[in-house]
């Protein structure tokens, strides 16, 4: 795992080595073990390395035999031993034992078709010195990030947006359309980012930049197509095949020259993976969990049961509301995007526990809910479509009680009436490609009423958003089963642009930890897309096939327990005596007026309501509004007004290649006390 950066300028102006070192320094937490730069009169590539495979000879950038092809990689190529053996049989010579080196030889052998041979999680850059061509590529579902800014004949790229913003030629301003999207579906849409002019390479795509221009190409796409009929193969086939695939996906994700641990949430997904690993490959597995001081969010009893049943060495870090509040500015520094929930913060504490325990790598259970239909939104879609056939039925909406028994319980008539009315909205719009998510998007988009009038004028409405979403859909989308359509929507928006980014890569790499995701092996994904619909959701039993596969290995009550979405406290983190000073300042009326994103009167009313309730807000929407406002204010403070918000510690002992090797190193500042402190809360970032 690493961070990568680069500049390619066909104006032949070269690149400022000091800027390149700054770009590496600002993301040194992504790879504090080694640093390298390749440079010629057109291109520069840089790497910060977190040493996991080939600790001694795997430093980057890495080249081919005649040094005509150079590569930097963020991530892992899990099938590199098999690829290396094949490439050696074709005459290629290797000088390291790293997974990165297979990339230059694959490029020599297959050109840009190399991506079809990779099983991994990666963002990479290849510079072909002969063809004067840059290739940028990203893994199939976007586990690893890769951003770029293109202006004329000059392209700047990096693993994080902050590396690009260090270039003074790149403007620093928020994109209001993307801001609107985040306050609709929780994340940017498509290849956009929250910053104007900065884009991401989409998952499953690669880009080519040469003197002829810049183009983006797809090499893989998620295709649910037509699921197999449930009577084509017995259930036992699907169970056996899934277990076989997950075993191999987990096995190759244990390839490392450092110990590999695992996250253990207490749910089905992570417990199943940890059990497979412990029983088959690693009888000394260490697992890690986060608990909460607030019992509404805590899953400690389930985590303890899971750890006991597997027999792992288990550690837990407890997260309190003051913890989340005090960390939140650092969280936004890492996510580089506004948030509508605080859920990333506890995961930052969890990755710190992992790192403090001398682990660099953990397996996690991300992806299972999306691939095997575990979320309530999938079952809601099924119930609402059934209800829509008889929209005036009083019996069909009662199926919602199966999904939300705690709301529809006796004595909660007001909530029952409200929820029934909520789910009935747009009930009969079943032909909309966005039907499964339309209700949630509409509900979240109400938060945009907090924006100032000037900002709202630059934002589209919900129908505009849906139109843009539909323009990104693959051919044949509407011929898929409705459940498959809902899964595709959840995977391509929420999983790729939120879960794997804000809660995944950014929170782990903020503490120099690499997450690995067996469920997101592309073979597992493609298999899951072919599973018969009734084996994804059977009646209203979610993740039916996954539960069948896990039922003989993990405790029954962990398999059968109702799905508990991962959530974290919100309002009390920022309201009351323990609230961090930056929250008080940035949510104050003068600060709201000064930045201009939000309507001061509406925010003031929200804050007054918070104060009266001592942080106990009346609705989930108000919680989201509070987090969204604060995170947007923080984003402006960190990336627009005060960027960079602290001095950058440039890396020392940078290995230089190409023309950079003959250039004297720029003077480096020294910070003997560690990282400089953030001016907002005076904590090191």
| Low-confidence winner among 94-103, 157-166, 602-611 (lowest mean pLDDT) | 602-611
Backbone phi, then psi, for 364, in 5-degree steps?
-135, 170
**Residue 214: pLDDT over 70:** yes
Contact 528, 534 (CB under 8 A): no
- What phi and psi, each to the nearest 5 degrees, are found at residue 344? -65, -30
Please report the pLDDT score of residue 218 as a whole number. 98
* Chain segment 325-341, per-residue pLDDT in tens: 999 999 999 999 999 99
Q: In what order do the strands lie in the sheet with 120-128?
A: 62-63, 69-77, 120-128, 133-138, 205-210, 213-218
Give the long-range contacts of residues 304-308, CB within 8 A, separation 24 or more.
304/266, 305/266, 305/555, 305/557, 305/558, 306/264, 306/266, 306/270, 306/271, 306/274, 306/554, 306/555, 306/558, 307/264
* Per-residue pLDDT, 613: 66
Percent of the chain whose pLDDT exceeds 90: 81
Instruction: Let me know: does 140 contact 525? Beta carbons within 8 Å.
Output: yes
Two tokens, residue 402: 């199966």
Q: Quote the CA–CA distance of 192 and 461 in Å, as a whole number.
A: 17
CATH 3.60.20.10 is right for the domain spanning 2-220+652-662? yes
Is residue 673's pLDDT more than 50?
no
| Average pLDDT of the chain, as a whole number | 92
DSSP string, 281-293: T-TT-EEEEEEES
Q: What does the pLDDT read at residue 570?
A: 83
Domain span(s) for CATH 3.60.20.10 in the chain: 2-220+652-662
* C-alpha dihedral, 600 to 605 to 606 to 608, nearest 10°: 120
**DSSP letter assigned to residue 297:** T
Residue 142 is predicted with a pLDDT of 97
Q: Give the pLDDT of residue 229.
A: 80
pLDDT per position as a tens digit, 516-534? 999 999 999 999 999 999 9
Sorting pLDDT into bands at 50, 70 and 90, what band is 126?
very high
Contact 193, 147 (CB under 8 A): yes
Compute the distance between CA of residue 93 and CA of residue 81 in angstroms, rounded to an integer: 14
Neighbouring-strand partners of residue 126: 71, 135
Encoded tokens for 580: 């961090």
Q: Is the pLDDT of residue 127 over 80?
A: yes
Who contacts 144 (Cβ-Cβ below 8 Å, separation ≥6)?
Answer: 74, 75, 121, 122, 123, 138, 159, 505
pLDDT at 152: 93
Residues 6+ apart with CB under 8 A from 416: 407, 408
Peptide bond into 61 cis (omega under 30): yes
Nearest partner of 372 among 530, 249, 244, 236, judged by Cα: 530
* Mean pLDDT value of segment 424-447: 96
What average pLDDT score do residues 236-240 get? 97
Comparing C-alpha atoms, which of 576, 568, 567 is closest to residue 610?
576
* CATH 3.40.50.620 residue window(s) in the chain: 235-371+489-560
DSSP-derived secondary structure for 249-278: HHHHTT--SS-EEEE--SSHHHHHHHHHHH
For residues 455-474, average pLDDT: 95
Compute how many other C-beta atoms are within 10 angstroms of the C-beta atom of residue 144: 28
Least reliable range by pLDDT among 68-77, 518-527, 657-666: 657-666
CATH number of 235-371+489-560: 3.40.50.620
471-529 pLDDT per residue, tens? 999 999 999 999 999 999 999 999 999 999 999 999 999 999 999 999 999 999 999 99
Q: What is the pLDDT of residue 616?
A: 57
Q: CA 391, CA 424: separation in Å to the nearest integer?
A: 8
pLDDT band at 31 (very low <50, low <70, confident <90, very high): very high
- Give the integer Cα–Cα distance in Å for 162 and 143: 18
Q: Is residue 682's pLDDT more than 80? A: no
- Among the listed residues 207, 38, 9, the one whose alpha carbon sits nearest the alpha carbon of residue 124: 207
Task: Give the whole-angstrom CA distance, residue 90 versus residue 93.
Answer: 9
Do the beta carbons of residue 4 and residue 45 sit within 8 Å?
yes
Mean pLDDT across the stretch 604-632?
84
This prediction's pTM: 0.94
CA–CA separation, 336 vs 639, rounded Å?
A: 8
Query: CA separation (Å) from 520 to 371, 482, 589?
Result: 9, 22, 44
Query: What does the block give as tokens for 120?
Result: 């991994």
Per-residue pLDDT tens digits for 292-304? 888 788 889 999 9
> Alpha helices of 472-537 — where are they, by DSSP H?
482-489, 506-509, 522-528, 533-536
Q: Do 344 and 335 contact (CB within 8 A), yes or no? A: yes
Q: Where is average pLDDT lowest: 32-36, 415-419, 679-683?
A: 679-683
Q: Is omega for the bond preceding 644 within 30 degrees of 0, making it cis?
A: yes
Q: What is the pLDDT of residues 168-198, one digit of tens each?
A: 999 999 999 999 999 999 999 999 999 999 9
């Amino acid at each position: 795992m690493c961070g990568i950066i680069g500049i390619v300028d066909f104006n032949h102006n070269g690149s400022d080595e000091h800027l390149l070192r700054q770009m590496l320094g600002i993301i040194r937490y992504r790879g504090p073990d080694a640093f390298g730069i390749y440079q010629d009169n057109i291109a520069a590539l840089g790497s910060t390395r977190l040493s996991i495979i080939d600790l001694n000879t795997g430093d980057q950038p890495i080249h081919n035999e005649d040094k005509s092809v150079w590569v930097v990689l963020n991530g892992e190529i899990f099938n590199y031993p098999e690829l290396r053996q094949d490439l050696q049989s074709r005459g290629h010579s290797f000088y390291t034992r790293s997974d990165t080196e297979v990339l230059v030889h694959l490029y020599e052998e297959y050109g840009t078709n190399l991506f079809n041979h990779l099983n991994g999680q990666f963002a990479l850059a290849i510079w072909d010195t002969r063809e004067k061509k840059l290739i940028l590529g990203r893994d199939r579902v976007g586990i690893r990030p890769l951003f770029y800014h293109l202006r004329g004949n000059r392209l700047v790229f990096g693993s994080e947006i902050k590396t690009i913003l260090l270039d003074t030629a790149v403007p620093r301003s928020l994109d209001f359309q993307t801001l609107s999207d985040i306050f609709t579906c929780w994340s940017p849409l498509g290849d956009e980012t929250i910053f104007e002019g900065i884009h991401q390479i989409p998952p499953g795509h690669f880009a080519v930049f040469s003197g002829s221009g810049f183009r983006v190409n797809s090499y893989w796409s998620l295709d649910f197509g037509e699921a197999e009929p449930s009577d084509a193969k017995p259930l036992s086939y699907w169970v056996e095949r899934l277990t076989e695939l997950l075993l191999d996906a987990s096995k190759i994700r244990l390839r490392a020259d450092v110990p590999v641990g695992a996250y253990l949430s207490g749910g089905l997904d992570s417990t199943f993976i940890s059990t497979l690993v412990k029983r088959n490959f690693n009888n000394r597995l260490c697992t890690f969990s986060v608990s909460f001081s607030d019992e509404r969010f805590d899953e400690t009893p389930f985590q303890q049961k899971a750890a006991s049943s597997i027999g792992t060495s288990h550690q837990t870090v407890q997260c309190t509301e003051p913890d989340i509040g005090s960390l939140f500015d650092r969280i936004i520094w890492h996510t580089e995007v506004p948030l509508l929930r605080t859920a990333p913060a506890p995961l930052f504490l969890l990755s710190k526990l992992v790192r403090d325990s001398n682990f660099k790598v953990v397996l996690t259970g991300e992806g299972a809910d999306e691939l095997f239909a575990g979320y309530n939104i999938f079952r809601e879609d099924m119930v609402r479509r059934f209800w829509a056939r008889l929209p005036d039925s009083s019996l069909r909406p009662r199926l919602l009680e199966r999904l939300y028994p705690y709301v529809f319980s006796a004595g909660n008539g007001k909530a029952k009436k409200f929820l029934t009315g909520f789910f009935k909205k747009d009930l009969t719009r079943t032909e909309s490609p966005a039907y499964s998510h339309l209700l949630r998007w509409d509900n979240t988009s109400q938060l945009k009423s907090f924006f100032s009038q000037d900002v709202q004028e630059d934002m589209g409405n919900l129908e505009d958003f849906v139109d843009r979403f539909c323009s990104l859909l693959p051919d044949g989308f509407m011929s898929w089963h409705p459940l498959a359509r809902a899964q595709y929507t959840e995977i391509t928006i929420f999983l790729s642009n939120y879960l794997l980014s804000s809660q995944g890569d950014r929170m782990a790499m903020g503490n120099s930890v690499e997450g690995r995701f067996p469920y997101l092996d592309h073979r597992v994904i493609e298999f899951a897309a072919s599973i018969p619909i009734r084996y994804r959701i059977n009646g209203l039993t979610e993740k039916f096939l996954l539960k069948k596969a896990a039922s003989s290995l993990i405790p029954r009550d962990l398999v059968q327990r109702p799905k508990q979405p991962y959530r974290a406290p919100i309002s009390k983190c920022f309201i009351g005596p323990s609230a961090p000073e930056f929250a008080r300042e940035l949510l104050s009326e003068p600060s709201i007026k000064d930045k201009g994103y939000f309507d001061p009167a509406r925010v003031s009313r929200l804050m007054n309501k918070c104060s009266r309730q001592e942080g106990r807000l009346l609705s989930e929407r108000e919680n989201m509004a509070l987090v969204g406002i604060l995170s947007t204010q923080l984003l402006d403070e960190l990336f627009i007004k005060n960027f960079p918000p602290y001095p950058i510690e440039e890396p020392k002992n940078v290995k230089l290649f190409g023309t950079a090797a003959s250039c004297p190193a720029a003077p480096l500042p020294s910070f003997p006390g560690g990282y400089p402190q953030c001016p907002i809360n005076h904590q090191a970032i």
